[in-house]
Amino acid sequence: MIIRTQTDGFIHPLGSEITPQAAFLDRRRWLAQSAVALGSAWGLGHASAAQAAKGAPLKGVRSTVAGAMALEALTPYADVTGYNNFYEFGLDKADPARNAHTLKTTPWTVSVEGLVAKPRTWGMEELIKLAPMEERIYRLRCVEGWSMVVPWVGYSLSALIRAVQPLGSARYVEFVTQADPATMPGLRNSVLNWPYLEGLRLDEAQHPLTLLTFGVYGEVLPKQNGAPLRLVVPWKYGFKSGKSIVKIRFTDREPQTSWNVAAPNEYGFFANVNPAVTHPRWSQATERRIGEAAGLFAKRRPTELFNGYGPQVASMYAGMDLRRFF
């Protein structure tokens, strides 16, 4: 059952339907706080690594970016953090939650380089202070035919892009993620080339909906969700949202991406959610919402072009043949 509260206009699942989760239950107060309490796991001294493991609070103000607050029931915390794709920690959906505890997230730096006026390496303390944290409720559609609705915490990647000043020749952005054989058992599997690489066109990376993500459900990201920072690009299939990013590189040509290299007929560079572009193994016409009552037998919902974010993003693809540039 779903209720819509008078005060915040959200559609909430009843508490009994979700895993008890302090940040969620505390949500009204959280949203009421306009000051962002960034008492987080990084940099603010004593809090540090132990807290990160427990899920240190990371609050965000309600986003005003168009399309950033999906009015749908949130996927339960247990599913968001327990049903994951993070192949560096195994191929099974339960593997990342089981195995990702070995990921070492402190210290962590992100090198921003390539065709920018101000290349440099950022520490997490600087990154989390660069722009106000916002809460964004996004639909996440996986190419495997399932979807979730997730309350992320972060800010538009465009804030970081502005800070590094791309050169006129920059047209694409490459995202390189962590690949450490000592802490990531999945690297023994050659299903993908490591590190996991992703990329966006510069205008896509600058789009306000593209979220540099540090938290979920009011806490710093659990390791299985891509701690300490990841991307979320809500109008694209989930694989475009690289986890545990260590390098962001601005280029003049389309970067290679791990999935495109692994199976070019299945995974294109753009990977915009599109029910009209078929996939050899999974339906893209409909999707199963993870965590919904009735589980596997729940009614599948129709998948929307651009995952429903067409009003915000369709203009970036005007005139493009989306079947060819899939």
Instruction: Please give the residue ranges that form the binding site for ligand MTE (CB under 6 A).
Output: 84-88, 140, 142, 177, 196, 225-226, 238-239, 241-244
Distance of CA 56 to the CA centre of its chain: 18
| Minimum separation from the CB atom of position 34 to ligand MTE (A) | 27
CA distance 50 to 56: 9
Which residue in this structure is represented by tokens 């003049």? 252
Q: Please name the residue ranges forming H helices in 5-70.
A: 22-25, 27-32, 48-54
Between 30 and 146, name the residue whose CB sits nearer to ligand MTE: 146
CA distance 259 to 265: 10
CA distance 113 to 201: 16
Distance of CA 253 to the CA centre of its chain: 24
| Minimum separation from the CB atom of position 84 to ligand MTE (A) | 3
Between 57 and 226, name the residue whose CB sits nearer to ligand MTE: 226
| Minimum separation from the CB atom of position 248 to ligand MTE (A) | 14
Nearest CA to 60 among 140, 139, 148, 150?
150
| Minimum separation from the CB atom of position 297 to ligand MTE (A) | 22
| Minimum separation from the CB atom of position 257 to ligand MTE (A) | 11
Residue nearest ligand MTE by beta-carbon distance: 238
In this structure, what token pair is assigned to residue 100?
A: 């990702």
**Which bin fits 89, alpha (ψ -120 to 50), beta or left (φ > 0)?**
alpha
In this structure, what token pair is assigned to residue 74?
A: 């949130």
For residue 111, CA distances in Å to 103, 249, 256 come to: 19, 8, 18
Between 166 and 186, name the residue whose CB sits nearer to ligand MTE: 186
Between 21 and 244, name the residue whose CB sits nearer to ligand MTE: 244
In this structure, what token pair is assigned to residue 143?
A: 């190419």
Between 82 and 114, name the residue whose CB sits nearer to ligand MTE: 82
| Minimum separation from the CB atom of position 32 to ligand MTE (A) | 27
| Minimum separation from the CB atom of position 281 to ligand MTE (A) | 13
DSSP state letter for 272 = B
Between 224 and 312, name the residue whose CB sits nearer to ligand MTE: 224
Between 115 and 245, name the residue whose CB sits nearer to ligand MTE: 245
List Cβ neighbours of 172 (8 Å cut-off, separation of 6 or more): 199, 200, 201, 202, 250, 251, 252, 253, 254, 255
What is the chain's Cα-based Rg? 19
Between 166 and 291, name the residue whose CB sits nearer to ligand MTE: 291
In this structure, what token pair is assigned to residue 232?
A: 């979320």
| Minimum separation from the CB atom of position 229 to ligand MTE (A) | 11
